[in-house]
Structure 1
Amino acid sequence: MNEQQLTKVRDGVGFVAALDQSGGSTPKTLRRYGIAEDAYADENEMFDLVHEMRTRIITSPVFGGDRIIGTILFENTMDREILGRPSADYLWNVKHVVPFLKVDKGLQKEADGARLMKRIPYLDGLLERALAQGVFATKMRSTITLPGPGLADVVTQQLDVAEHILTTGLVPIVEPEIDIGSPRKAEAEDQLLEALTERLDRLPPEHLVMLKLTPPETDNLYAPLVAHPNVLRVLFLSGGYSREEANARLARNHGAIASFSRALTEGLSVSQSPEDFDRVLDQSIASIAAASAT
C-alpha cells in the first residue's frame, strides 16, 4: 500500500470524482455531454469519445489534488493514456489525485428487492494489473430497492469480495446503493447500517475499507460507520439527485464526502470553449468540495 496515497485518502480535504461509467452507462453520459449515439459506429469509437471527455476533465487546470482526493476509473480508462502517460500514473504523479478502479462487471437481475453483482471473471488478474499501475483502491456496486433478504445478500457478497481484495493490499470501496426512489428507503437504510456494522466488526484491525452509500433520509444515520476503525472514508453517491440536492444532503451528514459521477459532470458540453468548460467544471468542483467539508 502506498503510504502517501493512504494519508491523502484518510486525511485529504475534498472529494472523490467518479469517472467510471462502463459500457452500459456510457451512451447516456455522452448524450448529456452533447454526443448523440449516431456519432459513433461501435463500442470502440464510443470508448474513444468518452476517454476524450474524461481526459478533458482530468487535464483541466481546475481539476487537481487540492480539491479532489481520488478518481474512480473504468478498466478501459486505466488501460489508456492521458497526455502520453498511463492514466493512473498521470492522476497521481501529475495531478496528485489517488487512482481507484471499478472492478465489478455489472448486475444480476433483481431478486428479493436487490441486484447482486455478476461474477467478476479474472478478478485476480485485474487486481494484479491495478497494483502494477499504482491503483490504490477498487470499487464495486450493487443496488437495493427494498429492505429484506436481498439487502442481506448484497452485504454478504460485497464484504466477501472485499475481504478477498484486501489480501492483495488494495483497499475495497463497497457500494451497496439504495435506490433513491425506494418506497421503503429509510427502512432499508436502517437494515444496511446494521448489516454493514456486523460485518465490519469482524474485520481484523489492519483491514481498511471504504463505503460508498446513498445519502440517508435520517441525517447522520451513518455516523457510526464514519467513526468505525475499519472504515477509511465514507463516500456519498449522488444517486440520481441533482447536484444541488445531492450537495445539500451531503452537507447535512458530517464526516462523509462526495463521490459524484453525473452530478460532477452536470452542465459540461463537448461544444463549450475551453474557458467555458473550465468555468463550469470549476463551479461544480467548488460546490461539491464545499459540501464535502462539513
Structure 2
Amino acid sequence: MTAIDPSSPQFKKVKSAPGFIAALDQSGGSTPKALRSYGISDDEWSGDDEMFAMVHKMRSRVITSPAFTGERILAAILFENTMDREIEGKPTADYLWDVKNVVPILKVDKGLAPEANGVQLMNPMPGLEQLLVKAKGKNIFGTKMRSVIKQADKSGIEAVVAQQFDEAKKIIEAGLVPIIEPEVDIHCPDKGDAEAYLKAALAAKLDELPSDDYVMLKLTLPSEDNFYAEFVEHPQVVRVVALSGGYSREEGNEILARNHNVIASFSRALLEGLSDKQSDEEFNTMLDTSIQSIYDASIT
C-alpha cells in the first residue's frame, strides 16, 4: 500500500485552498453531446479518433486559457484519453500541475449498469489496478467514479455506497485519493428521502475508514441546505464537492452558495456558453466569467 501524504502540496491545496474542481471528464458516450454543446456538429468529425482529437482540442483550449489557473481552480477531472495526451508538449497531468497549479484527477469508472432497485451501479472495472498504476506513473493525485440513484430505495442506495467504498479501497491502496460520486438524480420523485438514506449509508462507511485513509465526496446539491455539513467536518473526508446535475450554472451556483464549505465540481455548467466559433478574446472572457461565478459560489 502506498500511503497518502497529507502534507503534500497537492493534498493541502485540495483540502483547504479556496476554489473548485473543474470536471472535464466526459468520455465516449457523452463526448458527441459535449462537442455539440461546444458548437461542433456530428458531421465535422468521423470515427472515435477524430472525435477524441476534437474534444482534446476543446479541453486544451479551456486548460490553456489565461482564465484557467490554480488561483480559482483546485483540480481538474480528466478521462483516460485526455491523461494519455499532451498539452503544449507536456503530458496533460504535468501541464495542469507544473504550469497551471491545478491538481490532476482521473475518471476511472466504465459507465453505468442498467437500473435495478432504483439505482444504477457502476459497470465492472476490469483492469482497474493496471489503470491506477498507470495513473500514479503519470502523476495523477486522485480518481473519480460515478453511480446514479433514481429512486429512494434504501437497499439500492446501500448497494451503491458499498460498491463505491469497495472500489475506493483499491484506489487508496494504490496511493490515490478517490472521489466517491453517488449522484442523486435531481428528478428523483422522493429526492429528500433518497438523500437521507444516502447520508446514513455514507456516514456508516466513513466511520469504518482507518485514520490514514482519505476520500472525497461528490454529491448532488441537496434539497435541504447544509444537509451534508457533518461530512465537511469528517476527518477522513478531504473535501465535499457538488455536481451540477442538470441545473443551469446560475441555478447551481445559487444552491451551492447556500451550502457552506461545499465546493463545486461542475462539468456542463462550467462550459456553458463556450463555443468553437468564438474568438479567443470572446472565449476567454466567457470562461473567466463562468469560473468567477462558480468560484464565488464555492467560497461561501
TM-score tier after normalising by the smaller chain length: over 0.9
Q: Corresponding residue for 2:9?
A: 4
1:52-201 superposed matches below 5 A = 52-148=57-153, 149-201=155-207
Q: Corresponding residue for 1:23?
A: 28
Q: CA deviation at 1:238?
A: 0.2
Q: CA deviation at 1:12?
A: 1.2
2:119–2:156: 8 Å Cα contact kept in structure 1?
Answer: yes
Q: Percent identity?
A: 59
Q: Which amino acid aligns with 1:82?
A: I
* Deviations 1:252-291 (CA, angstroms, capped at 9, x unpaired): 0011000000000000000000000000000000000000
Q: Which amino acid aligns with 1:10?
A: K
Q: Corresponding residue for 1:215?
A: 221
2:24–2:267: 8 Å Cα contact kept in structure 1?
Answer: yes
* Deviations 1:146-176 (CA, angstroms, capped at 9, x unpaired): 1222111100000110011111110000000
Q: Which amino acid aligns with 1:158?
A: Q
Secondary structure of 1:130's aligned partner: helix
Q: Corresponding residue for 1:267?
A: 273
Gaps of 5+ in 2: none
Which region of structure 1 is more displaced relative to structure 2, 79-88 or 144-153?
Answer: 144-153
Distance 1:235 1:19 in 2: 15
Q: Corresponding residue for 1:253?
A: 259
Distance 2:48 2:119 in 1: 29
Q: Corresponding residue for 1:285?
A: 291
Q: Which amino acid aligns with 1:230?
A: Q
Distance 1:255 1:205 in 2: 22
Q: CA deviation at 1:11?
A: 1.2
Distance 1:11 1:221 in 2: 20
Secondary structure of 1:94's aligned partner: helix
1:40-59 superposed matches below 5 A = 40-59=45-64
Distance 2:214 2:170 in 1: 12
Secondary structure of 2:252's aligned partner: helix
* Deviations 1:231-268 (CA, angstroms, capped at 9, x unpaired): 00000000000000000110000110000000000000
Distance 2:163 2:193 in 1: 20
- TM-score scaled to structure 1, two decimals? 0.99
Q: CA deviation at 1:5?
A: 0.4
Q: Which amino acid aligns with 1:114?
A: V
Q: Which amino acid aligns with 2:280?
A: P
The partner residue of 2:39 within 18, 31, 34 is 34
Q: CA deviation at 1:7?
A: 0.8
Any runs of at least 4 consecutive aligned residues in structure 1 with deviations exceeding 4 A, and if so which? none
- TM-score scaled to structure 2, two decimals? 0.97
Distance 1:188 1:224 in 2: 17
Q: Corresponding residue for 1:235?
A: 241
2:129–2:170: 8 Å Cα contact kept in structure 1?
Answer: no
Gaps of 5+ in 1: none
Distance 2:255 2:189 in 1: 18
Secondary structure of 1:10's aligned partner: helix
Distance 1:50 1:258 in 2: 22
- In angstroms, what is the RMSD of aligned CA positions? 0.7
Distance 2:9 2:136 in 1: 15
